[in-house]
Structure 1
Amino acid sequence: MTTYTRNALGQVIQTVHPEAITTYGYDNSHRLTSVIDSRGLKNLSYSWSPGGLLNRLTDSDGRITNYLYDPVGRLAGVTAPNNDTVTYRFDAGGRLTERWLANNASARYAYNADNSLKQLVNRNTASTILTQHDYTYDGVGNRASQTENIGGSTLNYAYSYDELSRLTQITNGTAAQQENDSYDPWNNRTLKSIGNPATSTLAYKYDDANQLTEIHNGTITGTLLSTLSYDNNGNLQSDGSRSYTWDALNQLAQVTKGATTVAYGYDADGRRIRKVTGGITTQWLYDGQDIYAEYGAAWTNPNAVYTSGGGVDDPVIKATVTGASSYGQAQYYHADGLGSIVGLSNSTDTTTQTERFDAWGNKLAGTIPQAAQYGFTGREPDETGLTFYRARFYDPSIGRFVSRDPIGLSGGINQYAYVNNSPVMFTDPWGLKAVSPLSMMLADAGKNYFSNTVTDVGNTLSSGYQSLSTSVKESWDTSPAVATGKAFGGLVAAAQGVITGDQTLVDTAIQGMAENKQGSVDALLLLGTMGRGGAKAGVQEGTQVFRVWGDGANAWGRSWTTVDPRTVQNYRDTAGLPNQNSGRFLSEGVLKDTSGVTLKAADPLHGNIGGLPEVVIPNPQSQIKLQNVQGINPKF
């Protein structure tokens, strides 16, 4: 059981959880100033500029992380606790073009006219290429090809998709390694074959809840290879090689694979704060949703401190700690265009390890150990073969999550599918919804208010809501506060504040949302997608937009929104959808031309309350780069 204590403004000032007690402090502008973790009494303190930008992070042992910004509020530099520096450069359009590390290694980005990533090159001091990634795209914006040079080994990939932008074929010039995938209408992968002609084929069987129950060789009537079972909450219990144990909040508590057993502990925000395996305990201290420090069983000096960039899942430096104020060798992360860690270098700019993943996150080759902490899409690999995506774990061997989506059908008809089966285009940092790495990078150019205030405090509400039973959720969602729209007004105001850059509006809205957990969940998903710096980003090129349509409402109407409809309860009501819009389809794209684009609150049409942020786009067919279209069942 978790209890929350709030101040007069509704801000959470303490959470009491069986694993940890967390205490929060705020300044007169309602910004987070301190977080105290009862485990070892570790404190993180935050200092802000008058304009609301995070200037400094200081831990209770005196380690300091400093943040610098350019004149428009974008993150321009970070000084890590070990005094290593990271600097960023942007072009006139606000796109990240260069990142320089303390060991003089660099990452350089090039873009197409529509803001899609064209090339990413990681180089060392001598301008030798560490990794290089070149991308092309098809007519609807899916990645059509990738040329990948990692550690001097180059592979050329080509990708094919079905009409729903699901990945159906991967080739790399070697017939024996060609992959073909097929899906059913509910986004379940039914067949996976390797080779041309196929030398290996796996067939997958599902139950009516889209739970994978059997894996067969060749066809669904072929030799049974694996049987999978689930508990009544849809959590995987056994997959033939691993057994799973879950806690009362549907969080993975333990995994056993052969002789290896790994146990986990979580805090009130749902963050994984403890892992025990082979008698070794690892504990993590968080800065928002990012790991700040790693400890062993004792809370004296950390084993390592981490520095993240301005983005989501953007690790930059891991500095080993040798004493109260001394450090050992630093480790620098190098990523590809999906955010996957494909290389590590040390303080002398020597590449120490590289690795390569397939489209689904299976490790193909390389030597980067699990202890490096980050891997596919910048998330955390595990000894069990799973990858931790915050809200839940992902199994790359089957390309699915091992538990249901905590936000239910708001995340899509298939609660186990990973990024709508488009893994070379999207990531899922929170284990809740697919997002574009590019849209996050564009939104995350600055590190500001949302870095900690919303993430630390708001996620408490989010995790609390997600842990409730369905009946309690329904009761809460139909409470008088929600029915009258009071709490939802906070979400609308927060959304408007994020998009328009009105910080006062955001502050007021966040205070007002304490009455309604679901409003907080929706707002957090919105703010998390906008990312650090989102409040100052505005509706700009690269902004992700969505449209619900069907029957009397066509696919290319002028009304779109920046909020993913799958993350909003009662979307029809809050979006003010007219009766002729059946809500049977969902389109998703990226704004590539802002000419004439305006922002307003959705009108309260046909008895709906409206209020959701609405982006009015004069010529959507020419101004939006369409990324995905899917049928929705049940419809909005």
Structure 2
Amino acid sequence: ICGTVSNVTTYSERQYLQEPEDAYSVTATDALGNETLSYFKADGSPYRAEGATYPTATALDANGNRSELRTWRDETGQPDITRWHYDQASGLVTNKVYADGKGPVYTYTSDGRIASCTWARGATAAYAYTDTADGSVQAVNYSGTTPDITNRYDLAGRLVAVDDGAGTRTLSYNVKGQLTAETNSLAALSRVYDSLGRDTGYDLSLPGFSTEVFSVRYGYDGAGRLSLVTSALNGTSNTFEHSFVDGTALVTGMTNSAGLCWSRTYEPARNLIAAVSNFWNASSISSFSYENDALGRRTLRVDAAPALSATNVFAYNQRSEVTNAAMAAASYSYDYDDIGNRKVSSVDAVASSYTANSLNQYTSISGGLACSPEYDLDGNMTWDGKFSHTWDGENRRIRSEPGETVTNGSVMVENIYDYQNRRFKKVVSQLSGRGTGYPLDPSQPGTWSAIETRLFVWDGWNIAAEIIIDTLACSTNIHYYTWGLDLSGAIQGAGGVGGLLADTKVSASATDTYYPCYDGNGNVTEYLDDTGTVRSHYEYSAFGELTTQAGDLADTFTHRFSTKPFEVETGISKYQHRDYIPTLGRWASRDPLEELGGPHLAVFCENDPLNQIDALGEEVINLTSLGPNGGTVNVTLEGLSLCEIGKKGVVKIAFVFYTHWNVNNFSMTNDGAIVVDGKRLDVTRKEAYDAKLKRKMYTYSATTTIDGEECPASVDKSVDIFISWTKTDANHPNPGTHMIIASW
């Protein structure tokens, strides 16, 4: 598989094994000589991988279902085993059992829809469905205090109302089935479309907090690329214009009407960012220049700003995990076990040692980051060394409170979520009135009082507005966020990473707009006011730890590392689906996609956040494959040996497409194809709703025959897989692929 002449991955011919019968191995050697050895059974199903990857072994039951996954923290030691149990009649998963012998239990309706999920800690969710043909989710009833969800649909099967933890929301559609209005207890958002049915923006009002309407409009160039974004509030407008590499959708820059512009250049033969520069008119604000190795990994970054420059050097192991980062005057190093858990990390001369259990959870950390993390039975971190965390029936963090030493002035964070797992409300409370003798003297426990409440209004997966109620200052401020093309080249294709254009703050006395600057990873490095003055400056470690913060407003901005909300109270980066702890370099809970996201359920960006981003907290995007994440997806597999062992030479090729959206009510018409050496095959498509993952799933399969009576040992083929779609439900105006899984 080739990117450039210098970046070639070569595949060996099949090496047949003595056992299992007709099994074989293939060795892939990358451009730096790192070898990954993959083992396949006679039918082509993979069952083991080792070398320059996390070592895994998979077992299948008699029906071809995965029954066992083995991983190794030490490849010379004993494996950690995850098992799946199935209902024999239906083939549906009834139990998942992790290495500690615990896991969720599922039941199903007579027609194969999930009826209930019981988590290992006892929390339950029960599902009810409409009696229509598609069987949309009508209600989800949770045990405990997790708010239930009730959905209502019109006669066309469109979602028109939802009752959830955020209250009641209603949705309206036009005659084409496009979402035109969405209202909830906070906001009313009305959408606009052009004559071609393209999304051209929205109007947002916050009736209980403002009489103004915040308007956003999108414009398209002659090539159909979204190139122009305009925002307007209280008679003041801003325009943001994107530029592109000729003939492509690769974004090369953005210029706004206030004076900010940034440029992005790429390597000549690869879609790899070579440099990013931020300017205010003709004055340089910051710039980042990159050098990439043959695998596309960043080995050098040179930062430049007025009166400031820094050289950063990076190194990796054979699995492309970051092992060393010399960043300005600081030096970081990391050592991992065979499945990606840290064994040792160090910052300058301060080292930390980690102990991981069979669930790949850190149970003890000594040295600079000394703590003993704790978890519930479903893998949610309940103690991180500073805060105790409480989780609800959807494994969402609903409370973080200080742990061992709680004194007056300590703060607690509480979160409420909507039906799509988006945080709708955040409340920060402060302790006062606690007696010095507590808890031995229980008469003076003190009182937790709310000092700040933040309310979030969402446009898909981007926050459109944030209402901040400051109880101590007796003030209410509103932040309106304007979004453009993120690192994917689309709006929300990369979960908004690198896509925030402006933060407009409305207070009782003024309206001020601030503009973010970025590095090549979509991390916010500065915010500028409308005079071009730097009001905040941020620097991060390789894993997103905030290492430098400057500027009089640095504490006030929400979006920072990876353009995600930063929780100043806990140090957590709040992704849309999960919480990330930068100091530990891992997620606080398991991957909602389970093993579809990889064998390690808590590792962050495969320990390579210099070259990968996570869009929503469950999907890794490699920065070597930047491009638009909407419309059409193409996957080309060159030089693969497509051949089953046997006389007929019949090859089955299949891939799975998961929708991006965490709801059942997303329908679309699409077209998937499999092309072998230019010949389009007849494709069978199967549509289903994956209730566990909460997204639509489309499976495509096809067969082809190798010429000749006998199937030769190796036949090189070019396989092109692609899928395109047209929205029929505009609940989410910017759909994108979540994941494509190909097998052959």
TM-score computed with the length of structure 1 as normaliser? 0.70
CA distance in 1, matches of 2:226, 2:164: 34
Superposition map of 1:113-192 within 5 A: 113=268, 114-125=270-281, 127-150=282-305, 152-172=307-327, 174=329, 177-192=330-345
Superposition map of 1:30-45 within 5 A: 30-37=177-184, 39-40=185-186, 42-45=187-190
CA distance in 1, matches of 2:618, 2:178: 26
Quote the offset at 1:327 in angstroms: 5.8
The residue aligned with 1:357 is: 540
- Check whether the contact 1:310–1:444 (CA below 8 A) recurs between aligned residues: no
Q: Describe the shift of the 1:557–1:91 C-alpha distance in structure 2 as closer, same or farther (beyond 3 A).
A: same
SS in 2 for 1:372: coil
State percent identity of aligned pairs: 22
Quote the offset at 1:73 in angstroms: 1.7
The residue aligned with 1:470 is: none
CA distance in 1, matches of 2:562, 2:180: 30
Relative to total residues, which structure has the larger helix share, 1 or 2? 1
Deviations along 1:532-577, one digit per CA (max 9) or x if unpaired, are: xxxxxxxxxxxxxxxxxxxx99999744657999957xx6xxx453
- 1:108 and 2:263 matched: yes
Q: Describe the shift of the 1:206–1:567 C-alpha distance in structure 2 as closer, same or farther (beyond 3 A).
A: farther
Query: Structure 1: which 5+ residue stretches go unaligned?
Result: 219-223, 447-454, 463-486, 500-508, 525-551, 578-636
Of 56, 59, 67, 2:204 maps to 59
CA distance in 2, matches of 1:377, 1:553: 46
CA distance in 2, matches of 1:115, 1:456: 25
SS in 2 for 1:496: strand
CA distance in 2, matches of 1:408, 1:553: 35
- 1:425 and 2:579 matched: no
Superposition map of 1:528-547 within 5 A: none
- 1:4 and 2:160 matched: no
Q: Describe the shift of the 1:285–1:495 C-alpha distance in structure 2 as closer, same or farther (beyond 3 A).
A: farther
The residue aligned with 1:521 is: 695
- 1:285 and 2:435 matched: no
- 1:93 and 2:247 matched: yes
State the AA in 2 paired with 1:242. Answer: F
Superposition map of 1:327-406 within 5 A: 328-367=511-550, 369-383=554-568, 384-406=570-592
CA distance in 2, matches of 1:35, 1:456: 21
Q: Describe the shift of the 1:444–1:234 C-alpha distance in structure 2 as closer, same or farther (beyond 3 A).
A: same
CA distance in 2, matches of 1:555, 1:433: 33
The residue aligned with 1:20 is: 167
SS in 2 for 1:310: coil
TM-score computed with the length of structure 2 as normaliser? 0.60
- Check whether the contact 1:407–1:567 (CA below 8 A) recurs between aligned residues: no
- Check whether the contact 1:201–1:217 (CA below 8 A) recurs between aligned residues: yes
Quote the offset at 1:111 in angstroms: 1.0
Deviations along 1:331-350, one digit per CA (max 9) or x if unpaired, are: 11111110000011111122
CA distance in 1, matches of 2:738, 2:177: 30
- Check whether the contact 2:567–2:574 (CA below 8 A) recurs between aligned residues: yes
SS in 1 for 2:556: helix
The residue aligned with 1:630 is: none
The residue aligned with 2:467 is: 295
CA distance in 2, matches of 1:238, 1:391: 19
Quote the offset at 1:433 in angstroms: 2.0
Superposition map of 1:453-602 within 5 A: 458-461=661-664, 494=670, 496=672, 517=691, 521=695, 558-559=718-719, 567=739, 575=742, 577=744
Q: Describe the shift of the 1:519–1:232 C-alpha distance in structure 2 as closer, same or farther (beyond 3 A).
A: closer
The residue aligned with 1:481 is: none
Q: Describe the shift of the 1:382–1:576 C-alpha distance in structure 2 as closer, same or farther (beyond 3 A).
A: closer
CA distance in 2, matches of 1:399, 1:96: 29
- Check whether the contact 1:123–1:129 (CA below 8 A) recurs between aligned residues: yes
CA distance in 2, matches of 1:252, 1:376: 20
- Check whether the contact 2:374–2:384 (CA below 8 A) recurs between aligned residues: yes
- 1:226 and 2:412 matched: no
Matched residue count: 485
The residue aligned with 2:506 is: 321
Deviations along 1:177-203, one digit per CA (max 9) or x if unpaired, are: 3222111121111111234xxx22211
SS in 2 for 1:460: coil
- 1:212 and 2:366 matched: no
Q: Describe the shift of the 1:254–1:556 C-alpha distance in structure 2 as closer, same or farther (beyond 3 A).
A: farther
Of 590, 595, 617, 1:409 maps to 595
CA distance in 1, matches of 2:567, 2:521: 19
Quote the offset at 1:253 in angstroms: 0.4
Of 306, 309, 314, 2:481 maps to 306
SS in 2 for 1:427: strand
Moved more, 82-91 or 371-380: 82-91
- Check whether the contact 2:659–2:696 (CA below 8 A) recurs between aligned residues: no
CA distance in 2, matches of 1:322, 1:22: 27
Relative to total residues, which structure has the larger strand share, 1 or 2? 2
Query: Structure 2: which 5+ residue stretches go unaligned?
Result: 1-147, 206-211, 430-449, 487-495, 633-657, 676-684, 699-711, 724-735
CA distance in 2, matches of 1:85, 1:187: 44
Quote the offset at 1:170 in angstroms: 1.1
CA distance in 2, matches of 1:104, 1:329: 15
The residue aligned with 2:398 is: 253
CA distance in 2, matches of 1:516, 1:456: 10
**RMSD value, Cα:** 3.5
Q: Describe the shift of the 1:239–1:302 C-alpha distance in structure 2 as closer, same or farther (beyond 3 A).
A: closer
SS in 2 for 1:390: coil
Quote the offset at 1:19 in angstroms: 2.4
The residue aligned with 1:238 is: 383
Higher Cα radius of gyration:
2
The residue aligned with 2:191 is: 46
